[in-house]
Amino acid sequence: MTTVHEPTTGTAARLSVWPASTTEPPHGDLAVGGVPLAEVADRFGTPVYVLDEAEVRDRCRTYRDAFPGAEVLYAAKAFLCRAMAHWVDEEGLGLDVCSAGELELAVTTGFPPERIVLHGNAKSPRDLDTALRLGVGRVVIDSSVEIARLAAAVGPDGHQKVMVRVVPGISAGGHEKIRTGTDDQKFGLSITDGHAAHAIARILGQPQLELTGLHCHLGSQITTVKPYLVAVRRLVGLMARLHEQHGLVLPELDLGGGHGIAYRPGEEALDLTALARRVRAELADACATAGLPVPRLIIEPGRAVAGPAGIAVYRVLSVKRTGHTVFVAVDGGMSDNPRPALYGVRYAPRLIGRRSTAAPARATVVGRHCEAGDVLAADADLPADVRPGDLLAVPVAGAYHLSMACGYNLVGCPPVVAVRDGLARLLVRRESLEDIRRRDVGL
């Protein structure tokens, strides 16, 4: 292994991207929510995802406190299960869903449908029918064809609140594959070319559709406030033109989410307090200049709520040197976390379950799948004596891991375990071979 020098930082710095409840006992076994992670691995097997309930709830409250009077919607695409929907509901947040599946799970859990917003750039008839049947609060129109489709589904005597997703022409986000505020991607209707204004005029001609506001989402992993301020100016500018042309005053403005978080110690994250303060000031100033009342603000955090609350725990299967690289292979990989392969996300896994006195060394943590790109961490600092049977824990694993998981190599999805106050309980069981066989119905 190539030896590296561990930064001269304390425990607080090393655990800066871990849940607030994380403790580091002298024997080396990290505990989250009062539960040792090695104990979770022994009880539920590996790979296993651990979700700190208190961290989720605290992050919901942080958003609620930072944006008083605003509507905060948890973006379910980051991670959704029945318990997550229940926690979000109890903490007073709404929900942003992207499919009939997410919507059905939330409503059948008891989540109030009127506090749910349906998104999606290509909503299926089933998505729309389910939204109308369950009484979803708002549907976000993403293309012109959805206007007629939704109006027909609602019927002449029906009523549905809608928003329009507009593209403000802003490039922001941590990777080109997660930038959605520019005119060259699949989401929304452009302000620049007039498609947004044309779609709004068509909606106003459908009496069964009530337009409540504009929506935009700039991208993901945004760590600076400025793109949101530019978006506010451009959306208020469109609202002013709509008022001039149609006498329309929209009561809502949705700035989406995309709030960046740190995946490794020392990385930059979005300052939520600064975001809230400056967005409110910018919105008030822009509306005053345009002579418009200030609309109610809506935001949609997903990753920033779920991501730092989750930990993935793997067991080491093999350690081998190839040339100058040491590969540490674990019992999971791109089937339960495709994000490194998709857009190069970097993590900071660490050894748990035993205290090592070996010097730290550089290693590449890889998965078990038959792809050269199945790499979980290309530059991990691990003890030089890491060996098969060891446990590795990956923090900031609560968002876009299991929600994007696949069935590659038929290894099955890992379970999700909640921890709180020294107790661990199963939320989502491990996908079994029997589960996989049941879906394969033909010979």
Active site (catalytic) residues: 370
Look at strands 252-254 and 296-299 and give their pairing: parallel
Residues counted in the chain: 443
The DSSP secondary-structure symbol of 114 reads: G
CA 349 – CA 404 distance, rounded (Å): 20
- Beta bridge partners, 3, equal 361
In angstroms, the CA 414 to CA 429 distance is 7
Whether a cis peptide bond, with omega within 30° of 0, leads into 47 is yes
Alpha-carbon separation of residue 253 from 21, 70, 248, 294 (angstroms): 35, 10, 14, 9
Distance CA 215, CA 237 (A): 13
Amino acid at 275: L
Query: DSSP of 242-270, one letter per residue?
Result: HHHHH-----EEE----B---SSTT----
H or E segment and range at residue 279: helix 272-290
Residue reference for tokens 């070996």:
358
Closest CA to 223 of 254, 261, 249: 261
